[in-house]
Structure 1
Amino acid sequence: MSVTAKQRCVVAYGNVQAAEHEQQTNLALARWLAQILGWSFADFRSEGWEPTDALYFVPTHTLVGEERADLGISGVEDLLGGYVQHAFMATKAISHPLISRARGQPDGWNPQFAERVREVVLAGLTVFDLEDARQAATEGLRSGALRVKQVQACGGAGQSVLRDTTDLAQWLSSLDASSCAQGIVLEENLEQAVTHSVGQTLIDGLLMTYHGRQHQAQNRHAEAVYAGSDLLLVRGDFVDLLARDLEPQVRQAIEYARVYDTAAALSFPGFFASRRNYDVLQGLDAKGESTFGVLEQSWRVGGATGAELAALEVLRERKAVKAVRASTHESHAECTLPQQAQVLYRGLDSRGDFILKYAQVDDYDC
Structure 2
Amino acid sequence: MPATNNKARQVMVYGCARYGQPDSHQAMTLEQIGRNVAKIAGYGFSGAYEHSATARTPAGGTAAPYLVPLDTVVGDVQAQALHLRSADDLFGGVVPFAFVATKVISHGLLAPDAAAPAGWNPDFAQRAGAAVLPGFTAFSLEDARSAGLRLMAGGVVRIKDPCGIGGLGQQAVDSEAALDAALAAMSATDIESHGLVLERDLDSPDTYSVGQILVAGLLASYCGTQDLTVNNTGEEVYGGSTLAVVRGGFDALLAQPFGPRALSAIRAAMAYHDAALACYPGMVLSRCNYDVAFGVPAGATGEGEARALTGVLEQSWRVGGATGAELAALRALKADPARERVVAATREVYGPDADLPAGAELYFQGEDRDVGVLTKYAYLESDNDGHP
Counterpart Cα distance in 2 of 1:200 and 1:17: 27
Shift, 1:316, TM fit: 1.1
Per-residue displacement from partner, 1:99-129 (whole Å, max 9, x unpaired)?
1155531110000011101221100000111
Query: Equivalent residues in 2 for 1:1-366 (5 A)?
Result: 6-7=6-7, 8-18=9-19, 20-44=24-48, 47=51, 50-51=54-55, 52=58, 53-65=63-75, 66-100=77-111, 103-180=114-191, 181-285=193-297, 286=300, 287-334=305-352, 335-349=354-368, 351-364=370-383
Unaligned runs of 5+ in 2: none
Instruction: Work out whether residues 3 and 218 of structure 2, in 8 Å CA contact, stay in contact via their aligned partners in 1.
Output: no
Give the distance between the partners of 2:127 and 2:38, measured in 1 at CA. 38
Following the alignment from structure 2 to structure 1, what is the Cα–Cα distance between the partners of residues 157 and 290? 21
| Whole-Å separation in 2 of the counterparts to 1:49 and 1:362 | 41
The superposition leaves residues 295-330 of structure 1 with CA deviations (integer Å, 9 ceiling, x where unpaired) of 111111101110010011111111221111000101
Q: Which sits farther off after the overlay, 241-250 or 7-16?
A: 7-16
The two structures have a TM-score, normalised by structure 2, of 0.89
- 48 and 56 in structure 1: CA distance in 2 versus 1, 3 angstrom threshold: closer
Instruction: Tell me the distance in 2 between the aligned counterparts of 1:267 and 1:172.
Output: 30
**Amino acid aligned to 1:311:** A
SS of the residue 1:244 aligns to: coil
1:289/1:132 Cα in 2 relative to 1: closer, same or farther (>3 Å)? same
Is the Cα–Cα contact under 8 Å of residues 5 and 205 in structure 1 kept in the other structure?
A: no
Residues in 1 aligned to 2:50 and 2:135: alpha-carbon distance in whole angstroms: 43
Q: Which amino acid aligns with 1:98?
A: L
CA contact (8 A) 1:322 1:365 kept: no
**TM value normalised by structure 1:** 0.94
Q: Which whole-Å CA distance do the structure 2 matches of 1:5 and 1:32 have between them? A: 14
How far does the alpha carbon of each residue in 1:180-223 deviate from its partner, in whole angstroms, 9 at most, with x for none?
12111000000020111111101110100110001112224332
> 2:240–2:321: 8 Å Cα contact kept in structure 1?
yes
Q: Structure 2 counterpart of 1:133, which letter? A: A
CA distance in 2, matches of 1:123, 1:349: 37
Using a 3 Å threshold, how does the CA distance of structure 1 residues 243 and 101 change in structure 2: closer, same or farther? closer
- Please identify, of 209-218 and 20-29, the stretch whose mean Cα deviation from structure 2 is larger: 20-29
Q: Is the 8 A contact 2:97 2:119 kept in 1?
A: yes
Quote how far apart the aligned CAs of 1:130 are: 1.8
Q: Residues 2 and 276 of structure 1: is their aligned pair in 2 closer, same or farther, counting only changes over 3 Å?
A: farther
Q: Is the 8 A contact 1:201 1:208 kept in 2?
A: yes
User: What is the RMSD of the two structures over their aligned residues, measured on CA atoms?
Assistant: 2.2
- Is the CA contact 2:41–2:215 (under 8 Å) kept in the aligned structure 1? no
Q: CA offset at residue 270 of structure 1?
A: 0.4
Shift of 1:58: 0.4
Alpha carbons of structure 1 residues 243 and 191: separation in structure 2 relative to 1, 3 Å: same
Structure 1: tracts of 5 or more residues without a match: none
User: Do the aligned partners of 2:12 and 2:49 also contact (CA within 8 Å) in 1?
Assistant: no
Deviations 1:206-248 (A, max 9, x none): 1001100011122243322000000000111222222221111
**Contact 2:145–2:180 (8 Å) recurs in 1:** no
In structure 1, C-alpha distance between the alignment counterparts of 2:132 and 2:151, rounded to whole Å? 16
Quote the Cα distance in structure 1 between the aligned partners of 2:46 and 2:211: 27
Task: Give CA deviations for 1:342-363 in whole Å, capped at 9, x if unaligned.
Answer: 1112234563422211111113
Q: How far apart in 2 are the matches of 1:308 and 1:131?
A: 41
Shift of 1:165: 2.5
Q: What's the CA shift for 1:34?
A: 1.8
257-266 or 19-28, which moves further after superposition? 19-28
Runs of 4+ in 1 over 6 A off after TM superposition: 1-5
Cα 1:101–1:247 change in 2 (3 A) is closer
Q: Is the 1:14–1:26 contact (alpha carbons within 8 Å) kept by the matching residues of 2?
A: no
Count, aligned residues: 366
Offset of 1:142 from its aligned partner?
Answer: 2.0
1:349 and 1:188, CA in 2 relative to 1: closer, same or farther beyond 3 A?
farther
Q: 1:290 to 1:324 in 2, by over 3 A?
A: same
Contact 1:129 1:177 in 2 (8 A): yes
Q: Contact 1:122–1:294 (CA<8 Å) still a contact in 2?
A: yes
- Structure 2 contact 363–377 (Cα < 8 Å) conserved: yes
Contact conserved, 2:207 with 2:293, CA < 8 A, in 1?
yes
